[in-house]
Structure 1
């Protein structure tokens, strides 16, 4: 592994969370955010790791992500070879949510919980972000429901799909991600945690035949971002069965109304909200009048949905 350079700038918590939830904001850069002062929303830091010495244009790209930094000078540091994605998540404290205990390394597992070892690595979803822990809590609260089939859209590390497999061991479970690396990571994590029977599919949302061929699903989970959640509302509603439960996350509380409206237009009703800081996790129910496409899904994208969202 070659040497790296680090570009550091101050930021706010809101900026940090927006960066953490994005797939890739700057090509070739690994972005990490750190809380500088505990419980201080204004004192966070953005570190951008790159493989070549950064020029002024790259520093400007990083600065654009954190407007609160203003004209403050960026700190540029030359670093020895390291895997900075892994190091960014190393040392995370274990997380306990309902029936689940998530850790990234050696940890003393409490009695009576299902532990998941999710190593620090190449995909989003160690459970520590409010959106992922909120989804775990939401799933834990659904344990008494009947689920025969489920899909985790944008699975990341596979953690939420693993939780579904624990709660409903007889269910048919599909986990998808647009990123092939995430599917590789999920397969590795499934083996590490002795989770079997989850079908892994590289897919853009529900726009793939293997996804729609296995519909309808009793449980649909999508922990992604507000924009994609809105644009994917018709296809996610379409793969949900009658009275199916839909769990959505990755949206800020300020984005909740827009997301709820998109799914209401597709015949889905909001049932519960789990607010965690600036983030919200939504639980909806697909109604009998949910959107069902007149023809096959368009494999080229989401244009042409016959909906006024």
Structure 2
């Protein structure tokens, strides 16, 4: 993705949108904002209970449409609509500035950094080059952290995964982490073709072989069916789709395989576990992070 433009071409400023929402509803409001901007970030504001959803764009957003979407999300959630703050930014390269807001972080054995980071990575870590851009998953959010911690725990198992599926891959960070951890074949899948393209670019930047990114209707994608069953499935999505997809996950998980589920809050855990217990999949380990839970089941 090109981040700069010749000085001879006229540039307008960028735009930023901000709204503060309760942690239980941050993903729902993030999904709304994502429809009106080019990049989304989520930052903890107060003790993990309130998070700030920030949207960045190069062109002015559809303010009435965004506000209507936020009000509808608030109505569905049963809460008051949060204040939406619009800010005009001077042109400096808003996307690069957004990326710089995410400093390198280490999560277990993984060291996540952007392309702007030029220092040596810490010894004995697995580097993941992921820019905060147009798809979810830069390691900053608790759900991504939980999934990477789960991947690190799996490295201690004797059985190593050979086939890996990252369902709802976003940036592709989880599948790329798997490809750098084991000599496995990885399929990255997302319903959003933009996420697929971002995942492909991240795969190229990280120089990982045997990784393919596709877009399509989840487990109904013929390629997802053909490449399975999978020894390891990542599904960092949301509680409701996780429950709806439990039967399909069971069908695509190899005997003895592990699924890593995230995108659910502590209050939603029993709901998600019940849907998977009905498929004879049981909790192996729970990883709590800032009010979000990551579940390892099998």
Instruction: Give the TM-score normalised by the residue count of structure 2.
Output: 0.81
CA RMSD for the aligned pairs?
Answer: 2.9
Structure-1 residue corresponding to 2:181: 167
Structure with greater proportional helix content: 2
Cα 1:8–1:184 shift into 2, 3 Å: closer
User: Residue 206 in 1 paired to residue 226 in 2?
Assistant: no
Matches of 2:113 and 2:166 in 1, distance apart?
20
Unaligned runs of 5+ in 2: 1-10
1:62 Cα deviation after fit: 3.2
1:188 maps to which residue? 201
- Aligned with 1:268: secondary structure? coil
In the alignment, what sits opposite 1:178? 191
Q: Secondary structure at the match of 1:120?
A: coil
CA 1:141/1:27 → structure 2, altered by over 3 Å: closer, same or farther? closer
CA contact (8 A) 1:86 1:122 kept: no
Partner in structure 2 of residue 41 of structure 1? 49
* Residue correspondence of structure 1 range 1-309 to structure 2 within 5 A: 6-16=16-26, 18-20=28-30, 22=31, 24=32, 27-29=35-37, 32-36=41-45, 39=47, 41-42=49-50, 44-47=51-54, 51-52=59-60, 58-63=66-71, 65=73, 75-80=85-90, 87-104=97-114, 105-106=116-117, 107-143=119-155, 144=157, 145-169=159-183, 171-285=184-298
With over 3 angstroms needed to count, the CA separation of the structure-2 counterparts of 1:215 and 1:73, relative to structure 1, is: closer
Change (3 A) 1:79 1:148: closer
- What are the Cα deviations for residues 127-153 of structure 1, in whole angstroms up to 9, with x where unaligned? 111111111110111113222211111
1:62 and 1:240 map into 2 onto residues whose CA distance is 37
Paired residues in the alignment total 280
Per the TM alignment, residue 58 of structure 1 is displaced from its structure 2 partner at its CA by 4.2
Gaps of 5+ in 1: 286-309
**Residue aligned with 1:28, SS:** coil
Q: Whole-Å Cα distance in 1 between the matches of residues 129 and 35 of structure 2?
A: 29
Structure with bigger gyration radius: 1
Does the 8 Å CA contact 2:169/2:195 hold for their aligned counterparts? yes
The separation in 1 between residues aligned to 2:166 and 2:53, in whole angstroms, is: 29
In structure 2, the CA distance between the partners of 1:207 and 1:86, relative to structure 1 (3 Å rule), is farther
CA distance in 1, matches of 2:65, 2:195: 30
TM-score, with length taken from structure 1: 0.78
Which has the higher mean CA deviation after the structures are superposed, 245-254 or 57-66? 57-66
Secondary structure in structure 1 of the residue aligned to 2:208: coil
Could you tell which deviates more after superposition, 137-146 or 89-98? 89-98
Q: Distance in 1 between matches of 2:82 and 2:220?
A: 44
How far off its partner does 1:15 sit? 4.0
